[in-house]
Structure 1
Amino acid sequence: MSTARSRLAEINPSPSMFTMGPANHDHEAAARCAVSVFVPLMVVLLMDRIDLAIFVSFGAFTSIYGRNLLHADRLRMQLRAGGMMLVVLTLGTLGGRAGFTEAEMPWALVSATALVAGICSVLAGLWQMRPAGSLFQIFGFAAVASVPTQPPLLDALVATVLSIGFSLAVGLSSRMFSAKARTPLSRPTLAPLTRLQKQVVWVEGSWYVIAAGLAGSLATLLGPALGMQHSQWAMALLSTVLATSAGATHVDYGQLLYDRALETIIGALVGMACVMTPRAWRRWAKKSADPAVVQREP
């Protein structure tokens, strides 16, 4: 890519939405993710503890991180991702028990989720985690806090820890089954972030707070008028439905589909607006010789 095209891509990222990069051992990462999610879900299903499905599902998201890294680097990244998810799910279930739910304290739920979005985004950036951002942590906290019937706390934490541990084992499994793929478990090292990179991390964290807070606020405000009952989806999951179906609460699947579609649209529109706003600012800045100088008429 030429220098001109590189600069254009920085200003206008839209074309990248319609392109796909070359394959890079994608099937291996997909297989690890599938196994990490499928096995814990089958275990809780066979145990007739579908109320724990939401906890093992989010714990299994640990396997998403460090897809093509060496084993040592992947282990460190997944340990951090798993530890972060454990803290988030613990706070989510404690928040749900304290009333941070749509029915009781919807604005507390929106505020807490936005805070989780920003903090986890900053940590993910400083730790150079891939995938970046706090998407899964947002889902995890809001979904767990919104479960109407919380399982016993110890059961939830044990299920989460075991699911995370299984994901870590799956991430290292190729060392046992393939000598060719085996890499040493030496102490990994990461290049330190520059000052500019750290500034970008904090800016992105701020945008996560704005996006999650704005989406949740709009869904909460528009919910009564539009007949929506699950505003946390706009900040947008099946695990919540699984946990709900495990209790005595009646599940209106037509309402769920309606809420999912409408509130996903709200979240997507807010997200796109937050992405396009910095782009518009950069375009304006490039057109101005010195945007910091205010021109005054004589």
Structure 2
Amino acid sequence: MSVEVGFRAATAVAIPLLVLLALGRLDLAAYATFGAFTALYGRNEPYRLRLRSVTVAGIALLVSIALGIVVAALGEPLPLLTLLLVIVVAGGTFLSSGFQLLPAQPLFFVFALLVCGAIPTPAAEILPRIALAVLVAAFSWLLTMSGWLVRRVAARAGGAGARESVLLKELRRRPSVDRTVFRDPRVWLTVGQNVVGVVLAGGVAVVFGLGHAYWAVVSLVAVIPPARAAHSISRSLHRIVGTIVGVGVTALILVWSPPPIVVILVIVVCQFFAEMLVGRHYGTALVFITPMALSVSHLASPAPLSALVVDRVLETVLGAGVGIVLVLLARWLERSRGLAP
């Protein structure tokens, strides 16, 4: 593991949240956090390639945030939100596959759209909130690219061996631009899974009146494997277990109503370990991603802990259950039509 990637991600979210805390505007925490997610991309990539990955991901995040803010200002009309959700999850899948982003799923794009769309927003606040997200994304972009200078200084000070240190891991990932994604039936299969899944999971959550139905959608997207990846039930189960364990961890953290500074510390620590683990074992990473996400929601719009935990567990099971069915269906389609990699 590289401490560098975890430290970068944690710093990207810590500084904006601490600034908002000092200003007494933690109600804007969601926009700052999602802008900071720009720093989650480009991990272990040479800087000429990282420049492309981080820029593409940052723009996609900002588009998702902006769409969510506009939807919120319009009163969160369900037909419009559903249409935008389908566009973001499909477009995010093609984008992640075409530019070989890591994380390789549209999870954070969907999450940004739905959470920002659920926060009441006066029309006069549309541009300021988008501007905040842009400012934090730009900061995260600079932070992510700043390693270029750090590595040059470290190389001069410590020689070639500095590249192999725990702090500065060798940059071995070499993503390329894949221009065949629109012709690849496996990518279209993943797009179809995500589109059908988010509509089903979100629709059922709305019909049964579950609070914040977006968690069912986010859980669904987390369970669906990336395009061209093996549709493994064991991996999907790991993601379900990781999410549910993460909900339990959140309950233990928030049960005593900690002050905002403690919640921010939890978010920062979870961001660090999530980034350290996401490339190795996604299920384990979700143990940290889930408390981070729920803590952000808690900062932006505090809710009773019982409702927060119960809703999230029910919605996680719902989204993951729909995801498992779609994974099984995809495995059958792959075998019957010879799409398996």
- TM-score under structure 1 normalisation? 0.74
The answer to whether residue 189 in structure 2 is matched with residue 203 in structure 1 is: yes
TM-superposed CA distance for 1:79, in Å, is 0.7
Contact 1:63 1:171 in 2 (8 A): yes
Which letter maps to 1:129?
A: L
Q: Structure 1, unaligned stretches of length 5 or more?
A: 1-22, 183-187, 246-250, 287-298
Provide closer, same or farther for how the CA distance between residues 81 and 75 of structure 1 changes in structure 2, counting only shifts above 3 A: same
Contact 1:124 1:134 in 2 (8 A): yes
Contact 2:189 2:330 in 1 (8 A): no
- Partners of 1:108 and 1:157 lie apart in 2 by 19
Offset from partner CA, 1:174-194 (integer Å, 9 cap, x none): 222232359xxxxx9935444
- Partners of 1:285 and 1:198 lie apart in 2 by 13
SS in 2 for 1:152: helix
The answer to whether residue 103 in structure 2 is matched with residue 131 in structure 1 is: yes
Which letter maps to 1:69?
A: E
Higher percent of residues as helix: 2
Which letter maps to 1:259?
A: D
- Partners of 2:16 and 2:187 lie apart in 1 by 33
- Partners of 1:121 and 1:193 lie apart in 2 by 14
The answer to whether residue 118 in structure 2 is matched with residue 146 in structure 1 is: yes
Identify the residue that residue 247 of structure 2 maps to in structure 1: none
TM-superposed CA distance for 1:200, in Å, is 2.9
The runs of at least 4 aligned residues of structure 1 exceeding 6 Å deviation read none
- Partners of 1:137 and 1:57 lie apart in 2 by 12
Provide closer, same or farther for how the CA distance between residues 189 and 122 of structure 1 changes in structure 2, counting only shifts above 3 A: closer
The answer to whether residue 225 in structure 2 is matched with residue 173 in structure 1 is: no
Offset from partner CA, 1:227-273 (integer Å, 9 cap, x none): x221111114423332224xxxxx33321221111111111111222
Aligned residues: 244
2:46 to 70, 90, 93: 70
The answer to whether residue 82 in structure 2 is matched with residue 96 in structure 1 is: no
Which letter maps to 1:169?
A: L
TM-superposed CA distance for 1:285, in Å, is 5.3
1:229 to 211, 214, 231: 211
- Partners of 1:129 and 1:161 lie apart in 2 by 20
Q: Structure 2, unaligned stretches of length 5 or more?
A: 156-162, 169-173, 219-292
Contact 2:39 2:141 in 1 (8 A): yes
- Partners of 1:213 and 1:191 lie apart in 2 by 29
Offset from partner CA, 1:108-157 (integer Å, 9 cap, x none): 43443233211221122222222212100111101100113458122212
The answer to whether residue 264 in structure 2 is matched with residue 212 in structure 1 is: no
1:243 to 300, 309, 318: 300
The answer to whether residue 32 in structure 2 is matched with residue 46 in structure 1 is: no
SS in 2 for 1:131: coil
Which letter maps to 2:74?
A: A
Contact 1:67 1:74 in 2 (8 A): yes
SS in 1 for 2:48: helix
Which letter maps to 1:220?
A: V
- Partners of 1:59 and 1:230 lie apart in 2 by 21
Worse-matched range after superposition: 156-165 or 125-134: 125-134
Contact 2:75 2:120 in 1 (8 A): no
Provide closer, same or farther for how the CA distance between residues 195 and 235 of structure 1 changes in structure 2, counting only shifts above 3 A: closer
Provide closer, same or farther for how the CA distance between residues 220 and 107 of structure 1 changes in structure 2, counting only shifts above 3 A: farther
Contact 1:111 1:213 in 2 (8 A): no
- Partners of 1:189 and 1:269 lie apart in 2 by 32
Identify the residue that residue 57 of structure 1 maps to in structure 2: 33
- Partners of 1:55 and 1:199 lie apart in 2 by 35
Contact 1:106 1:220 in 2 (8 A): no
- TM-score under structure 2 normalisation? 0.65
Which letter maps to 2:96?
A: A
The answer to whether residue 67 in structure 2 is matched with residue 87 in structure 1 is: no
- Partners of 1:189 and 1:67 lie apart in 2 by 11
SS in 1 for 2:96: helix
Larger radius of gyration: 1
